[in-house]
Amino acid sequence: MELIDGKFLSNEIKLEIAAEVKELKEKEAKIPHLAAVLVGEDPASQSYVRSKVRSCEQVGFKSTLIREDSSITEEELLLIIEKLNKDDDIDGFIVQLPLPRHINDDKITLAIDPKKDVDGFHPMNFGRMAQGMPCFLPATPFGILQMLDRYNIEVEGKECVVLGRSNIVGTPISILLSRKARPGNATVQLCHSRTKDLPMHTRRADILISALGIPNFVKADMVKEGAVVIDVGINRIDDANAKRGYRLVGDVDFEAVAPKCSYITPVPGGVGLMTVTSLLKNTLMACKGEIYPD
């Protein structure tokens, strides 16, 4: 079994990005600038946004954090988005989800200029992704593709099973891996809460990707010998021995499943770190006008 080391990979990619930023600085070209909008006090969201801002600093990007109280109205948030859309210095921005209940996520996503949508959530980018056109890939699936690619894991012709059909992970990664591309050309099955006899499907998987949000859901008897297992889940479980009173686990029962795998991603230290570096990659591409030249 080999561990797919998200920490190592994300550091490697950050060094590559930092080298590009250095070149841009030397040429006195524009430095990538990412803005993040954080609404409310959700601890997980705060920690994700902190890590995104810190990563910007590490690679030499400019970053702007806009914090708003959870009482902000939808109209007020839409005004902030309009400003960011128009601000020529901002290359890309994200609005951290989830948003408070009184704000419609879809309305917010649709308001973001697709050219600055470095999270890749806008239907314009999603549609272009599905059709194999240049686009900002959603950050987590983009991170998974890089893991598969950089570990030279063969995907073509493999049976791939994805657990979970969210718009940000399960559905896009199932589309990406079935596309005629590299990595891609897999035979993909998308499983969800209404799937019957889930283990029957998971046991067929050469590559199993879990994005459910259920701690330790994937057990050893659900996994084929030699499978590649990508654990996207980030779940907090109570742990009186941990400093913060909780620890993070994935969707996969790591201790039991790992010995059966050819490759497996850990949680923490896996896909989560790749999500952040993919966001940086998208921001760099936005700054250089690589996706939407004009």
Beta strands in 232-275 (DSSP E): 235-238, 246-249, 263-264
**The one among 235, 260, 262, 288 contacting ligand NAD by CB under 6 A:** 235
Binding status of residue 94 toward ligand NAD by CB under 6 A: no
Closest to 120 measured CA to CA, from 294, 286, 250, 289? 286
Task: Give the length of the chain.
Answer: 294
d(Cα 135, Cα 120) in Å, to the nearest integer? 8
DSSP state letter for 168: T
End-to-end C-alpha distance for the chain, whole angstroms: 47
Residues recognised as catalytic: 52, 96, 119
Q: Which stretch binds ligand NAD (CB under 6 A): 35-43, 121-129, 154-162, 271-279?
A: 271-279
Q: Which stretch binds ligand NAD (CB under 6 A): 59-67, 101-109, 166-174, 241-249?
A: 166-174
Q: How far is the CB of 86 from ligand NAD (least distance, A)?
A: 29
Binding status of residue 198 toward ligand NAD by CB under 6 A: yes
Binding status of residue 192 toward ligand NAD by CB under 6 A: yes
d(Cα 204, Cα 161) in Å, to the nearest integer? 8
Q: Which helix (H) or strand (E) holds 108?
A: helix 105-111
Per-residue x/- mask for ligand NAD, residues 54 to 73, rule CB under 6 A? Answer: --------------------
Residues 268 and 248 sit within 8 Å (Cβ to Cβ): yes
Q: Which stretch binds ligand NAD (CB under 6 A): 7-15, 77-85, 146-154, 230-238?
A: 230-238
Q: Which residues bind ligand NAD (CB under 6 A)?
A: 140, 163-166, 168-170, 191-193, 195, 198, 211-214, 232-235, 271-272, 275
